[in-house]
């Protein structure tokens, strides 16, 4: 059995932007504190939701450094360091380790993609370059590459590859991965609407977009699952399902940043090519927040 990085709800935290498009570190710190104070179990910095794909190398490194210092050991900090260029991912992963990240989140290669054997070679190269644990990130809808269960099993044989964030949406595939890997590979849901079923299969929690807005409630859903109270967890998940859906009515992280703005944070807008949602989508989002009493809730 390998050491588990965290159990519960880790937030895939947004990167707040100023009006000129620069990173608003003060507001990032405010969001980190808000999440930790409300029960978030890990901070995932520079992931998809954090807009890492539009960051400069310097910004990427500075965001990791800032998150590590701001979190100050209160919860684990997991740094997104994946790339479609293996050497780049290796170098960024080394840098994150030096900065004090507790673990890495490494997405599959995208655009140029690779074979299943290529995935094993890619992730093995990253794992061999660092000592800290690695979470594989499987999100084929964005990358065009899918980590198949047998590939996950091969990768689970590597000591510091300890978990997978599963955002394939394919419960049958996730079931097969869980059956093959057992306690050699922790599974985190990568989709907020699949927390309960994935944790019923033995998953350890979620890497969550929803947690940006309702960290306490997302943590509670996971905690109930960890206590095998799946019916109660499902009831709570059902209550937040309209918001979960609204947070994905446009390309992530467009809706979640708008949701945080509506709540009273200064998340700003996304960097292009992501642009503001159409009015109808924003209205759906506002209604979901209003129904939960979250409009203007942050002062």
Would you say residue 299 has pLDDT above 90?
A: no
| Pairing verdict, β 134-138 and 161-166 | parallel
Domain with 78 in it: 8-229
For the stretch 138-163, pLDDT in tens is 999 999 999 999 999 999 999 999 99
What secondary structure letter does DSSP report for 52? Answer: G
The dihedrals phi and psi of 206, each to the nearest 5 degrees, come to -140, 145
Assess if residue 202 is contained within a domain.
yes
Residues 207, 210: Cα–Cα separation, whole Å: 9
Assess if residue 112 is contained within a domain.
yes
Q: What is the pLDDT of residue 142?
A: 95
For the stretch 170-228, pLDDT in tens is 999 999 999 999 999 999 999 999 999 999 999 999 999 999 999 999 999 999 999 99
Contact predicate 135/104, CB 8 Å: yes
- Number of folded domains in the chain? 1
Q: Is 296 exposed, middle or buried (0-12, 13-18, 19+ CB in 10 A)?
A: exposed
Residues 208, 193: Cα–Cα separation, whole Å: 10
- 131 flagged as catalytic: no
Assess if residue 206 is contained within a domain.
yes
Assess if residue 14 is contained within a domain.
yes
- Which of the following is catalytic: 2, 150, 165, 216? 165
Q: pTM of the entire structure? A: 0.97
Assess if residue 17 is contained within a domain.
yes
Assess if residue 278 is contained within a domain.
no
- Which of the following is catalytic: 70, 137, 188, 204? 137
Assess if residue 54 is contained within a domain.
yes
Assess if residue 253 is contained within a domain.
no
For the stretch 48-103, pLDDT in tens is 999 999 999 999 999 999 999 999 999 999 999 999 999 999 999 999 999 999 99
- 137 flagged as catalytic: yes
Q: Between the CA of residue 268 and those of 19, 57, 221, 288, 290, what are the distances in Å? A: 7, 21, 28, 20, 20
Residues 171, 2: Cα–Cα separation, whole Å: 23
Residues 67, 50: Cα–Cα separation, whole Å: 12
Q: Is 54 left (phi over 0), alpha (psi -120 to 50) or beta?
A: alpha
Contact predicate 188/210, CB 8 Å: no
Read off the tokens for 48: 């998809």
Give the CATH number, domain containing residue 57. Answer: 3.20.20.70
Q: H or E segment at 117? A: helix 116-129
């Amino acid at each position: 059995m390998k050491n588990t990085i965290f159990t519960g709800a880790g937030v895939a935290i947004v990167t707040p932007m100023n009006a000129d498009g620069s990173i608003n570190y003060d507001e990032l710190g405010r969001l980190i504190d808000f999440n930790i104070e409300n029960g978030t179990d890990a901070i995932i910095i520079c992931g998809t939701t954090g807009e890492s794909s539009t960051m400069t190398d310097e910004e990427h490194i500075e965001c990791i450094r800032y998150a590590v210092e701001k979190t100050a050991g209160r919860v684990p900090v997991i740094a997104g360091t994946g790339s479609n260029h293996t050497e780049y991912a290796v170098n960024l992963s080394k840098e994150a380790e030096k900065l004090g990240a507790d673990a890495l989140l490494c997405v599959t290669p995208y655009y140029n993609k690779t074979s299943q054997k290529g995935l094993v070679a890619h992730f093995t190269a990253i794992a061999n370059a660092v000592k800290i644990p690695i979470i594989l990130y499987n999100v084929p809808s964005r990358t065009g590459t899918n980590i198949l269960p047998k590939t996950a099993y091969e990768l689970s044989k590597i000591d510091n590859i300890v978990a997978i964030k599963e955002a394939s949406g394919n419960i049958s595939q996730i079931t097969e991965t869980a059956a093959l890997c057992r306690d050699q590979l922790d599974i985190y849901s990568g989709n907020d609407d699949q927390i309960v079923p994935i944790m019923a299969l033995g998953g350890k929690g979620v890497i969550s977009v929803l947690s940006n807005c309702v960290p306490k409630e997302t943590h509670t859903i996971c905690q109930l699952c960890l206590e095998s109270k799946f019916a109660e967890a499902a009831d709570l998940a059902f209550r937040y399902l309209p918001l979960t859906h609204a947070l994905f009515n446009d390309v992530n992280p467009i809706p979640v940043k708008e949701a945080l703005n509506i709540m009273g944070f200064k998340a700003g807008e996304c960097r292009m090519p992501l642009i503001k949602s159409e009015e109808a989508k924003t209205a759906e989002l506002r209604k979901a927040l209003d129904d939960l009493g979250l409009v203007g809730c942050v002062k």
